Amino acid sequence: MKIAETAELWRYWLPSIRGEGWAYVVLGSDGFFASVSDYGNYAFWWTHIGSRTFKEFLLGIEPGYMQNKLNSQRVFDPEDTVIEVRRLICEERRRQKLTSEAAREAWEDAGSISSEYDLYRWVDEWSCHFESDCYGLGCFSPDPMVIGFVNHILPRLKAALREEFNAGSSACAKGA
C-alpha cells in the first residue's frame, strides 16, 4: 500500500467575467481535479487517462462527461413532477378509473407538490385510486449548479490550458 505519491500540482484562478462566476481549480499530474467555485465545490480523480497528460485529457472531455464525474446526482423537479402527476390523473379519468370529483381533488392536491416529501405524501393519499404505479411519478433533473460549472467554468479552464499549450509552457510540454 502506498501512503504517499508525488504529483505535480497546478492552480488556476478563474475570476468572474460578466457575472459568470469564479473558480479556483487545482489539477494534479496524477489525474486529480478539485475546484471551489460559485457553482459549488467539486473533486474527482481520474486514474485511467491513457497515454496523454492530464491537461491534454481535460482538453478533450465533453461537458456531459465532466458533469457526470463531478455530480451524477439529480435533483427533484417539482414543476415537471406536477405535470406528470396531472397527466396520470387525466389518463385515469379518461379510462374512467377516477370520478370527476376525485380527479378534481387529486388535481388540486397535486398543485401542492413542491418536494419529494410532498410527492410521497400525495402518493400515500392517492395511490389507492390509481391502477398505475404512482411511485415512479417523480421527475428529476441534473443539478443546475454542476451544469453551470461545466457550461461556464470548464470552457474557461480549457481556454487557460490551451493558452499554456500555445505559449509552449514547460509544464504542458513535458506533461508533468
18 part of a folded domain? yes
| Structural domain containing residue 19 | 9-72+143-174
Do 81 and 120 lie in one domain? The reply is yes
Is residue 71 pLDDT above 90, yes or no? no
- pTM value surpassing 0.95: no
How far is residue 86's CA from residue 91's CA, in Å, rounded to a whole number?
Answer: 9
Element (H, E) at 159: helix 154-167
98 part of a folded domain? yes
- Pairing mode, if any, of strands 23-28 and 32-37? antiparallel
Do 152 and 133 lie in one domain? The reply is no
Please write the tens of the pLDDT for every residue from 100-152: 999 999 999 999 999 999 999 999 998 888 777 777 888 988 888 999 999 99
Do 84 and 135 lie in one domain? The reply is yes
**Least confident span in 17-21, 31-35, 85-89, 155-159:** 17-21
Do 23 and 104 lie in one domain? The reply is no
Give the pLDDT of residue 173: 46
Per-residue pLDDT band at 175 (split at 50, 70, 90) = very low
Strand partners for 40: 37
Is residue 4 pLDDT above 70, yes or no? no
119 part of a folded domain? yes
Do 126 and 167 lie in one domain? The reply is no
Do 132 and 147 lie in one domain? The reply is no
Do 56 and 85 lie in one domain? The reply is no
Domain count, the chain: 2
148 part of a folded domain? yes
Per-residue pLDDT band at 32 (split at 50, 70, 90) = very high
162 part of a folded domain? yes
Mean predicted confidence (pLDDT) in 84-108:
91
Phi then psi for residue 67, to 5 deg, are -60, -45
Query: What is the number of other CB atoms lying within 10 angstroms of the CB of residue 67?
Result: 19
Q: Distance of CA 125 to CAs 14, 46, 101, 121, Å?
A: 50, 46, 15, 6
Do 56 and 13 lie in one domain? The reply is yes
1 part of a folded domain? no
Do 79 and 95 lie in one domain? The reply is yes
Do 124 and 163 lie in one domain? The reply is no
Do 79 and 68 lie in one domain? The reply is no
Per-residue pLDDT band at 3 (split at 50, 70, 90) = low
2 part of a folded domain? no
